[in-house]
Amino acid sequence: MTSASAATSASSPIVLDVADVRVRRAGRDLLGGVSLRVRAAEHWALIGPNGAGKTTLLTLCGALGHPSAGTVDVLGRRLGRVELSELRRHIGHVDPRHRMLGDNPVLDVVLTGLTGSSDPVPRWSATPAEEARARSLIASVGLGARSGSRWSVLSQGERGRALIARALVADPALLLLDEPATGLDVAAREHLLDTLDEVRAAHPDIASVTVTHHLEDLPASTSHAVLLRDGLVFAQGPADDVLTSERVSAAFDHPLVVDRVDGRWSARTRRG
């Protein structure tokens, strides 16, 4: 991040403020004293080994749970003092494990982002403006010709892009992505990551948080990163300062060489 963009980021509104959060379940700390502040136009990655606490932290970011201690402010509203279902309507969530009861067309799937439901809500219908926005977003993720296609006939990559459109249809200020490249082949992954870069450019004020195990699954537009280990923050800050060979190796307890080429990261075992 350049000094100019860093200054702009520092003056941007705070979208997400996690302060000294602890999450304790069954006598065990899943998160211990974790803090994270995300501003508009920042794109954070949560990286760490299995069991590091990434999904638990994303659950708090999405107003899907409460901390055992500490505070979480999402879009200026504190968890525990706000009606969660209303708050969630302002958060876009992309989860490749999204489940539906029916075999719905792409357009109907995207419109469920307005109702916050897994399937179309009976007796609810979108306004002409809402449907037009949904169709525009479907086209923007490269699925314009597939808007009437049923979910069952889509590839995993097409489903991922449809879910991005679904997350954006309510014009959220915060976009959360839970391992969005899960199950994709290399071509589908590249298409998805290019789509995310394009979405971020087209929606310059949106903030995002992406959980992934793999540096290769991070879009080039990633601006910041958090390394988690054993429920604690191992390192956080601008992505180029955090995603280094030394820090990633220590977080994963494995000798790695981390490279960034054309904006994209990769990691491999250090030999010798």
pLDDT digits over 166-182, tens only? 999 999 999 999 999 98
pLDDT reported for residue 9: 59
Mean pLDDT over 11-33 rounds to 93
Percent of the chain with pLDDT over 90: 83
The contacts of residue 18 (CB under 8 Å, 6+ apart) are: 34, 35, 36, 37, 57, 60, 61, 70, 71, 72, 73
C-alpha distances (whole Å) from 165 to each of 72, 98, 134, 171 are 27, 13, 7, 10
pLDDT reported for residue 88: 86
pLDDT reported for residue 193: 95
- Give the integer Cα–Cα distance in Å for 48 and 50: 7
Q: Tell me the one-letter amino acid at 164.
A: I
Q: How much is the pTM?
A: 0.91
pLDDT value at 3 more than 80 = no
Mean pLDDT over 182-200 rounds to 93
Confidence of residue 11 (pLDDT cuts 50, 70, 90): confident
**Angle at CA 61, nearest 5°, toward 191 and 223?**
50
pLDDT value at 154 more than 70 = yes
3-state secondary structure of 231: coil
Q: Which domains does the chain have, with CATH numbers?
A: 1-90+174-186+206-272 (3.40.50.300), 94-171 (no CATH)
pLDDT value at 225 more than 60 = yes
Please say whether the beta carbons of 197 and 231 come within 8 A.
Answer: no
Burial 81-116 (b: 16+ CB within 10 A, else e): eeeeeebbebbbbbbbebeeeeebbbbbbbbbbbee
Q: State the burial class of residue 19 (Cβ atoms within 10 Å of its Cβ: 0-12, 13-18, 19+).
A: middle
